[in-house]
A = this chain, B = another copy of it.
């Protein structure tokens, strides 16, 4: 089962804000059993927001967007999504009442900008926002379940935890672990990693991350992940593959004297 992630906002594209939302959403979807297939970042431009949803609907079983649900002129995610799929917008009464209540409590007036946050595509399921005004939206098109969430991390996070539970795949138990290897280069390790992955016939994924140098010696993190019919099986496969890697590294050290 595939998942896609959309992040909406100029501030992400131009690097003012680092895209931690996509990372948090990706992690939750991954541990719910999904293959994360594409991550798209688009500006606050209707044609691009429409392109992003169009590129994932039909291809991904779950799609999560964040950003563009606020009250300002450039918060246009919901209307862009609705236009793309020809869905009429309608005022969600409960959301409107919540926004009205928050507004009056603060001694403010209801404005069309506040009202906008209560407009949702007809047929949406509303995801309550316990820490802000704009609700999240759940919508199904074909085989794609779409979640449209706010961009403010605290608000996104408050919704994403429960979504992860809701969409969790029961047949997917992932486990991952990693080991740190010093003094052997990634290119020396590459054939061994391929050999071990072949041995497990696709049930194990091994990736090396050469990120650090310590006194000019190569330091590589080798990440091993596996999927099992339960968590114990996934753990067992990972442990076995790590043992194989350790043995290979022992042999490599003999050969290369690294």
Binding site for B on A (CB under 8 A): 5, 7, 10-20, 22-30, 35-43, 48, 55, 70-74, 103, 106-108, 111, 113-114, 117, 133, 152, 185-191, 193-194, 197, 205, 207-211, 223, 256-258
Contacts and interface: CB of A to CB of B under 8 A. Distances in A.
A62 to B, nearest CB: 13
Nearest to A112: B191
B11 A22 contact: no
A71 B186 contact: yes
Contacts of A42: 38-39
3 cross-chain pairs, A with B, having the tightest CB-CB distances, nearest first? A15-B27, A39-B41, A15-B26
7 contacts: A12-B23, A13-B36, A14-B26, A17-B23, A39-B41, A108-B185, A152-B211
Contact of A191 (B10, B41, B111, B194): B111
